[in-house]
Amino acid sequence: MGVLAGRTALVTGASRGIGRGIAERLARDGARVAVHYGRNEAAAKETVAAIEAVGGSAFALGVELGLPGDAQALWEAFDRHADGVDILVNNAGIGGARPLSEIEEEEYDKVFAVNVKAPFFIVRRGLDRLRDGGRVINISSGLSRTAAIPQQIAYAMTKGALDVFTRDLSKVLGHRGITVNSVAPGIIDTDNTAELLHGTQDGAAWAASISALGRVGTPADVADVVAFLASDAGRWVTGSWVDATGGSLT
């Protein structure tokens, strides 16, 4: 029996990258996992199939975030498969590398809608589904604490807002025994960073050089931190910002 046996998890943006790594790890620990995706149904089904292939339990939910009514639609889809959730991982997010002089209002509004507004209302609409003693884990970014990539200013701002949400939500939900934490990855080897890491040799070398551990992170590196916070072992950690950058901020 895994440490999360009998629990249900919802991971947003779980069809690929960090989200897929988290979904697979939580399932390996025994949780039944709702694999949310925005548009890539095929990738979500691949994640579900990978979980089931090793004896885990999962189901896919397709709802595009950043649109009016997205949180309600997500929970309505979830309700067709489960009657409550123990672990909520707000992982879905979009980024951008436009400098301040180029970003326009539409793009700014979109990144805040997906990265800040959606997690807020997913929690808000899910309060009666989130079981006492549960977990809320928000995937932040090392960029909320460093100006190392200033062209991602709007994206970094959204993660700073998400960290404040984490901090205050921990006090709002603490009386129910629910912990709330942010996990902040650094540069992780996913399809989102493929151009940087694999487009040129210099990109990969630079990314490895800024880590105190001398390598680029993997989705599993982040997923293991999330799994700790989701387990009983993480019961006394709440309201925290957990650095999962591999020492990139040192």
**Residues with catalytic function:** 140-141, 155, 159
Which DSSP state fits 101?
Answer: T
Scored b (16 or more CB within 10 A) or e, 46-60 reads bbbebbeeeebebbb
Listed in sequence order, the residues at least 6 apart from 180 whose beta carbon sits closer than 8 Å to its beta carbon are 135, 136, 137, 138, 166, 169, 170, 173, 238, 239
Beta strands in 26-156 (DSSP E): 32-37, 57-62, 85-90, 130-139
Cα separation, 46 vs 63, whole angstroms: 17
Q: Are 7 and 30 in contact (CB under 8 A)?
A: yes
**DSSP β-bridge partners for residue 59:** 34
Q: Smallest Cα–Cα separation from 192: which of 18, 56, 30, 2?
A: 18
Burial class (CB in 10 A: 0-12, 13-18, 19+), 166: buried
Q: Report the greatest alpha carbon distance in the chain.
A: 54
